[in-house]
Amino acid sequence: MKPDGDATEPSPLVLEAVLKAAEVARIGVAVSILEEDASRCVYATDTAAELLGAPGHQLVGRSLRDFIIPEHLHRLLPLADQMRAVPRGGGGVVEVSVRRPDGEERALELAYSPTTVDGKPAVVTFLINVGEQRATARRTKETAQRLAQLIEQSPDAVVISRRGLILEANPAAARMLGVESAQQLLGLSLAQFVVGEDASAMRERMASVARGEHPGPPRVYRATRADGERVLVEIASFASEYGGEPAIIGFGRDVTDRERMQEQLANTERLAALGTLAAGVAHEINNPLATLALNTEVVARAVARATLSEQDRVTGAAAVAELRTSVDRMTAIVRDLTGFSRTSTEQFGAVDVASVIDRALRVARHATRQRATVRLELSQVPPAFGHAGKLEQVLLNLLVNAAQAFPPGRPEASNEIVVRAWAPEPGRVCIEVTDNGEGIAPAVMSRVFDPFVTTKPAGEGTGLGLFISHNAVRQMEGELSVQSNAGGTTMRVLLRAAREVEQVAVEPRVGPAKSARGRVLIVDDEPAMCRSLQSLLRSSHEVSTAGGGEAALELLARGERYDVILCDLMMPGLNGMALFGELERHQPGLQQQMIFMTGGAFTAEARAFLGGCSNLRLQKPFAAEELEAAIQQVLSRER
């Protein structure tokens, strides 16, 4: 309207634009002329026809009142006179339900505006589908509520932030960061929970996401919870909106256990490789060590027979004694390596507790000797049911833990580790490792056997040692318990004594040596080993050598006969086990005259073979007395 009250006629282009905009907005438009008792539609858009469910040509000439349900017709009465009061009257809005010809009811909002058509009073009606709008709004609200519920119940942390400050967070985020409720996180900087350089990396990543750059894959950050616990958090960040403004939504997950498990798997693989290496090293060392041990005996006998001055005799005897001591030390080291490389496929049975404790103490010496004094209190105990390798690993872990229990800077002389073994009652064996260190914190005691629980500084433990030890003791039908206070810690291993039927089959014992002389064939692929054995035995026996199983068969095929076959178990080509089989098939009985020399049965085949045959065997390195006693025992069966 102009100020003087004259109507302004819009141009056709303006009217076309208005109608097109209404169609785009899905707003129907109808123009009706007001008559005495009714109104008559003279124009309707396609959207108006669709909303009312009738073609446009059927609307022309009809009143829109025809479509309004009777119950809502009264809502039009206040507008009727106003619409006729053109140009003084104004517009109006009313909500009604219409019934389409197909029977469907729709809620429409009718917005009226008076006008004139050819000088007659008329009204322009805008038809808006408020039912559809409400349904859309309802669906949007329901979707938002479901999304909020999903975020609220999500096991993963969800955090919405802007410029580094937390705007929203779910309960999982609160749990992950160690606060009681998500409300406590609001307004805090997410980076304040992140450690060191990772905090700078997080800020750079969030700035990059805010600039619209691709966020890249999730990243793991080192974080400190509100309670001081260190965790590893994997976070994926994306650009989003919150409250109509740009924001960043982050999805976080505590991956501490996953990362530690992956590290432990890597450690397990390294340990498996180390076990294989230890087995190979032990086997490779055993041959030259056995040669050294035998040659020491050769030298000892030569010194004893030689005509020497008293001083030279004493010097020679001392040198031989030192050689024997060194050989014994190397033998103990090799056997410890052999024990470390044993696999869990070995059967459970009777275990010599004193021997296991002795081996564990020797292996742990590197960890204990610089930190504490170790005292051993060993009573007479029966064999325990279990597995020697597993029990040794358990005790080794307890000893290392005890050595690490002392506070830095405390004088070594005041640090003590006590290892006790006794039979607390018939049928039971108890082993204790006690230290007088700082003890275990009460908060940790209830979880001390859980995986990934550790009180050690970073780099000194994975938190899996006691977990693995606890499981190992349970496999041996035993119990592992702990007592701790500010004055120290006691770890107790309680096992049952082995029953007689569970006694581990021992290698056949050799009897006392006799002076019988026999023909001995030495079969070994190590020339030095053959020479050493030949030097040691030739004064007592008629000795021949063969560099392998094939060479031994050739000698036998030529008609050579031997009283004893001293044979290495593991050799390239035809090994000792295969030679045994050849003799059993082609010269039955001769295989029983074999004595096996072994540096360790590291394969399942070798372990099964030795477990199934009754032949004597000598564990390299062996003493000259053991060798001669074994030969004499075989010779005694032949006579």
The predicted structure's pLDDT at residue 269: 66
Helix (H, G, I), strand (E, B) or coil at 3: coil
Above 80 in pLDDT, residue 280? no
pLDDT digits (tens, 9 = 90+) for 472-508: 898 888 999 999 888 899 999 999 998 754 444 334 4
- Residue 286 pLDDT more than 90? no
Contacts of 501 (CB under 8 A, 6+ apart): none
Percent of the chain's residues with pLDDT above 90:
24
Neighbours of 391 (CB within 10 A): 26
348: helix, strand or coil: coil
C-alpha–C-alpha distance, residues 590 and 399, integer Å: 49
Q: Which residues of 221-242 are buried (b: 16+ CB within 10 A; e: fewer)?
A: bbbbbeeeeebbbbbebebeee
Count CB atoms within 10 A of the CB of residue 189.
Answer: 15
Contacts 24+ apart (CB under 8 A), 616-622: 616/507, 616/508, 616/510, 617/507, 617/508, 617/569, 619/507, 620/286, 620/287, 620/289, 620/290, 621/286, 621/289, 621/290, 621/292, 621/293, 621/294, 621/327, 621/330, 621/331, 621/334, 622/290, 622/293, 622/597
Which residue's entry shows tokens 């358990």? Answer: 394
What distance in Å separates the CA atoms of residue 401 and residue 465, rounded to the nearest whole number?
Answer: 9
Q: 277: which residues sit within 8 A by CB, 6+ positions away?
A: none
Per-residue pLDDT tens for 362-406?
878 877 887 888 999 999 899 999 988 789 888 988 998 888 888
Per-residue confidence (pLDDT) for residue 337, from 0 to 100: 62
> Is the pLDDT score of 466 beyond 70?
yes
Six-digit token string for 146: 């479901």
pLDDT tens track for 111-170: 888 888 888 888 899 999 988 888 888 887 887 788 778 888 888 899 989 988 999 899
The reported pLDDT for the residue numbered 276 is 66
Residues 254-275: tens digit of each pLDDT: 888 787 777 767 666 666 666 6
CA atoms lying within 13 Å on the CB side of residue 152:
7
Torsion of CA 554, 560, 563, 567, to 10 degrees: -20
pLDDT of residue 273: 66
pLDDT given for residue 583 in this prediction: 93
619 forms bridges with which residues in the sheet?
A: 598
* pLDDT at residue 1 is higher than 90: no
User: What is the distance between the alpha carbons of residues 192 and 104, in angstroms, rounded to a whole number?
Assistant: 59
Q: Is-above-0.85 flag for pTM?
A: no
Tell me what pLDDT residue 509 has: 40
More confident residue, 276 or 531: 531
Indicate if the pLDDT at residue 295 is higher than 50. yes
Answer whether 567's CB lies under 8 Å from 593's CB.
no
Among 13-17, 218-222, 560-564, 622-626, where is mean pLDDT lowest? Answer: 13-17
pLDDT single digits (tens) 4-45: 444 456 677 877 888 888 888 889 999 988 887 778 898 999
- Look over the chain and give the mean of its residue pLDDT values, rounded to a whole number: 82
Q: What confidence score (pLDDT) does residue 639 get?
A: 57
Task: Classify residue 471 as exposed, middle or buried by CB count within 10 Å of its CB (0-12, 13-18, 19+).
Answer: middle
Write down the pLDDT at residue 393. 82
pLDDT digits (tens, 9 = 90+) for 521-554: 999 998 988 999 998 899 899 999 999 999 999 9
Return the pLDDT at 451.
67
List the single range of 344-353, 587-596, 607-616 with lowest mean pLDDT: 344-353
171: which residues sit within 8 A by CB, 6+ positions away?
A: 152, 181, 182
pLDDT for the residue numbered 429: 94
Q: Which residue in this structure is represented by tokens 């629980």?
A: 453
CA 95 to chain centroid: 64
Confidence of residue 463 (pLDDT cuts 50, 70, 90): low
- The predicted pLDDT at position 86 comes to 47
pLDDT 10s digits, 612-628: 888 998 888 888 888 99
pLDDT in tens, 95-115: 999 998 888 888 999 988 888
Whether 433 has a pLDDT exceeding 50, the answer reads: yes
- Beta strands 157-162; 120-129: pairing state: unpaired
Count other Cβ atoms within 10 Å, centred on residue 382.
Answer: 16
For residue 511, pLDDT beyond 60: no
pLDDT tens for 159-208 read 989 988 999 899 999 999 989 898 999 999 888 898 888 888 888 888 88
Give the other-Cβ count within 10 Å of 93's Cβ.
11
CA distance 335 to 328: 11
Pick from 398, 480, 462: which is nearest to 435 by CA?
A: 398
Residue pair 387/356 in contact (Cβ under 8 Å)? The answer is no
377 DSSP β-pair partners: 420
Three-state SS at 42 = strand
